[in-house]
Structure 1
Amino acid sequence: MAASITPSRLAALVKTRCQIFQTAYNPTSARTGAKYLRARLRGPSMVKYYPPVANIAELARTYKNAGVVDFAEAQRLKDVEDKKRRGKGAPAKAKDKGQSRRTARRR
């Protein structure tokens, strides 16, 4: 005849096992997210999967004297100049609080 083990002895066994193997002791089975915290991180694998992309803008900024031209940036600057010439550019920034549109509207 097999002797039955009391629940308190079983709980003590589980607690000791958790201490030995350094696992979380969760007698109430509450959700802790331990499964996701133990999981392997995905970020490094994703970074290794995609090859590095050459960034022309970064190269042009780093090596200004090398003659590397970022055509997209040059075109953007040309477009900004054209808009300013036509009066469609961004408004001038306020130098002090008196020039702010917000304070002008309150008066």
Structure 2
Amino acid sequence: MSSCIAPSRLAALTKLRCSIFETSYNPTGVRTGAKYLRQRLRGPSMVAYYPKQLSLAHIVKKYPELGMKNTPELQRLDDVDDTKARGKGAPKKAATKADSRRAQKKR
């Protein structure tokens, strides 16, 4: 029965069906990844599954009235100050483009 219908009419019917049901028209069967793009996103459900991680830093920041101190952070800041005093700290950022080391090398 389908042999009496012209292939061009079947292609037109498929194109019309795709426009009605908002699917992608792909007459050549090229891989497009549409199957994966239609899937529901996994990210929001994965975020909802895992509970929020509490850390000392978050608690100290949220409740300063408790008077707690984040000793690892204070130790880190002291170490950074010590390395800067010895001249081993991170270099200063360039204020302008002309101050950068790359610009000096190009000259």
State TM-score, norm by structure 2: 0.69
CA contact (8 A) 1:60 1:69 kept: yes
Match of 1:8 in 2: 8
CA contact (8 A) 2:94 2:100 kept: no
Amino acid at match of 1:15: K
State TM-score, norm by structure 1: 0.69
> Which stretches in structure 2 are left out of the alignment for 5+ residues?
none
- Alignment length (residue pairs): 102
SS of alignment partner, residue 30 of structure 2: coil
Instruction: Determine the C-alpha separation between the residues in 1 that align with 2:25 and 2:100.
Output: 61
Instruction: Determine the C-alpha separation between the residues in 1 that align with 2:44 and 2:72.
Output: 31
CA contact (8 A) 2:84 2:90 kept: no
Q: Indicate the percent of aligned positions where both proteins have the same amino acid.
A: 50
Q: Which stretches of structure 1, 4 residues or more, deviate above 6 A after TM superposition?
A: 94-97
Instruction: Determine the C-alpha separation between the residues in 2 that align with 1:55 and 1:14.
Output: 57
